[in-house]
Chain A
């Protein structure tokens, strides 16, 4: 995948807010797939969702920017990100 050629980041993204709508998790999966970002949702509860991500930095930024809005029935308060070691090379 051309996107992977650069040094892909591996990050954990933590989303806080009013997230209990069952629309948000599928929304995140669709949006990540659309951006070519590899994701694994490791936790989701009504106020917190944690996702392990891998992809080019700009693409993870794009996922974050999209998640700041998400579907209409969700309110995201904050998104935090921290690297979890580098993927590959």
Chain B
């Protein structure tokens, strides 16, 4: 397996007709869900003049750049250049896109050539995401447990799905049992927050170096 699936966002944070910024090691992404509910991941840069596409808007099955309105299909192909409406943009004019899969309430982006489907979460479901300004090592030190290659970390009282967004920054998805009740959900959120703080202290003290 020469690639991996990166958990870039939770499905619940990406309603139909919206776009949000996300990150994979290769760089920033514009993650968007069309009106019909299909998700696509484009490089967060419009090929026209370099505007961030995650600042754009979704209309029907297309993502449009907020600067000059160039719009793109799910496969990244440019469909419209508003300043030159007579032109049908050729296939060559397109953004870079990355394969996307959605499972168990998590949106995964493929990096390189990963396995056909993203890893399973063993019946767990995502509660919410939080961003911590630490590296994964500091979270592991704070949790006293190691994350698997896919980013799954089981610290007994809490289970997390981790994704390193950039140097010194990790996206943490808090996971809970599918049938968890309100009390368990609140406890999980609190435990995750406490763990994030511990990890940030560890990183500040350099203990995790």
Which residues of A are at the interface with B, using a C-beta cutoff of 8 A? 1-6, 33-36, 55-56, 58-59
Cβ contacts under 8 Å, A5 to chain B: 88
B87→A58 contact, CB < 8 A: yes
Instruction: Flag whether B84 is at the interface (Cβ < 8 A).
Output: yes
**At the interface, is chain B mostly helix, strand, loop or mixed?**
loop
Instruction: Give bound CA distance, A58 to B93, whole Å.
Output: 13
- Please give me the 3 A-B residue pairs with the lowest Cβ-Cβ distance, nearest first: A3-B90, A36-B90, A36-B92
What 1/0 mask marks residues of chain B from 90 to 113 whose CB sits below 8 Å from any chain A CB?
A: 111100000000000000000000
Q: Within residues 180 to 204 of chain B, which ones have a CB less than 8 A from any CB in chain A?
A: none
Apart from A2-B88, A3-B90, A3-B92, list 5 A-B contacts with CB within 8 A. Answer: A4-B90, A6-B86, A36-B90, A58-B84, A58-B87
18 contacts between A and B (CB under 8 A): A1-B90, A2-B91, A3-B88, A3-B89, A3-B90, A3-B92, A6-B88, A34-B92, A35-B92, A36-B90, A36-B91, A55-B90, A56-B88, A58-B81, A58-B84, A58-B87, A59-B87, A59-B90
Chain A CB count within 10 A is highest, among B81, B89, B92, for: B92
Which residue from chain B places its CB closest to the CB of A4 in the assembled complex? B90
A56→B87 contact, CB < 8 A: yes
Chain B nearest CB: distance from A77 CB in Å? 25
Cβ contacts under 8 Å, B91 to chain A: 1-3, 36
Cβ contacts under 8 Å, B47 to chain A: 34
